[in-house]
Amino acid sequence: MIIKSADFVTSAVRPVQYPESSLPEIAFAGRSNVGKSSLINTLVNRKRLVKTSSTPGRTQLINFFIINQTFYLVDLPGYGYARVPASVQKKWGPMVERYLKERTGLQAVTLIMDIRRTPRAEERNFIDWLQLYRIPTIPVLTKVDKLSKTRQNKQVGLIASALDIDREQLTLFSAKSRQGKDRLWTLLKDHIPGTE
Ligand code: GTP
Ligand code: MG
């Protein structure tokens, strides 16, 4: 994908705050601190388009970015991090759920997971929920630079069976080495009408 432009559009909590749009849109979801914002920056070749942080819970709003004036990438707040106050956690569920249910241009959700962590019911339930709403899901394992090839292989097997999917469906990614960037764009493009 050739990135001619990548711009922040707006942050939103409620649907009235979403940008008015007839463009296709891809959302990025995953646990807090997993590397969602870093992954988007890597995809669009920008260091700081999306704010990243070593402190979990950095992204607390739904952030919309427009790419090449033709589609949106949407950074969703992370879920399930214990250090985030319960009051904040409670607002996230409904905020993200409403977005996923109501956003008409949404074409697919990229579900980002840390390759070092075997997913639990939380992820499995989220995938089931997305399937129920007929939202295509693209599973990505990130931070692969943190493991040796041997341990990557082992984790891919464990994660695929925990998610009940084929290992070939998992895309390995690193925001540090940019591994997996081209493969992920190929998968994303299938869901973005009008891009070749
Ligand atoms: P929240 O917005 O808080 O939910 O986090 P996030 O999922 O957007 O994560 P973010 O991109 O802010 O990254 C969290 C931390 O992980 C930062 O310190 C990043 O530098 C680091 N990180 C993200 N991706 C990678 C990666 O592929 N490899 C390595 N080594 N570190 C990464
Ligand atoms: Mg973030």
Ligand 1 near 78 CB (within 6 A): yes
Q: Which residue has the higher pLDDT, 86 or 185?
A: 185
* In contact, 127 and 148? CB cutoff 8 Å: no
What does the pLDDT read at residue 115?
A: 98
Shortest-distance Cα residue to atom 5 of ligand 1: 33
Contacts of 187 (CB under 8 A, 6+ apart): 138, 171
The span from the first CA to the last CA of the chain, in angstroms, equals 8
* In contact, 51 and 60? CB cutoff 8 Å: no
Ligand 1 near 142 CB (within 6 A): yes
Residues β-bridged to residue 65:
8, 73
Question: In the numeric block, which tokens belong to residue 71?
Answer: 């589609």
In a domain, 159, yes or no: yes
For the chain, how many structural domains are there in total? 1
In a domain, 18, yes or no: yes
From the CA of 77, how far away is ligand 2's center (Å)?
6
Closest-lying ligand to the alpha carbon of 79? 1
Helix (H, G, I), strand (E, B) or coil at 34: coil
In a domain, 195, yes or no: no
Atom of ligand 1 nearest to the CA of 30: 7
Q: Is the pLDDT of residue 159 over 60?
A: yes
Contacts of 97 (CB under 8 A, 6+ apart): none
Helix (H, G, I), strand (E, B) or coil at 40: helix
Q: pLDDT above 70 covers what percent of the chain?
A: 90
Pocket perturbation via mutation, ligand 1, pick of 28, 31, 32, 33 by most ligand atoms within 8 A of CB:
33
Ligand 1 near 54 CB (within 6 A): yes
What does the pLDDT read at residue 58?
A: 61
CATH code, 31: 3.40.50.300
- What is the extent of the structural domain holding 69? 6-189
Mean pLDDT, rounded, for 74-81: 79
In a domain, 104, yes or no: yes
In a domain, 114, yes or no: yes
Q: Is the pLDDT of residue 57 over 70?
A: no
**Cα–Cα distance between 125 and 131 in angstroms, integer?**
10
Atom of ligand 1 nearest to the CA of 41: 11
Confidence band of 60 (pLDDT split at 50, 70, 90): confident
What does the pLDDT read at residue 2?
A: 92
Torsion, Cα of 196, 50, 106, 172 (10° steps): 60
In a domain, 1, yes or no: no
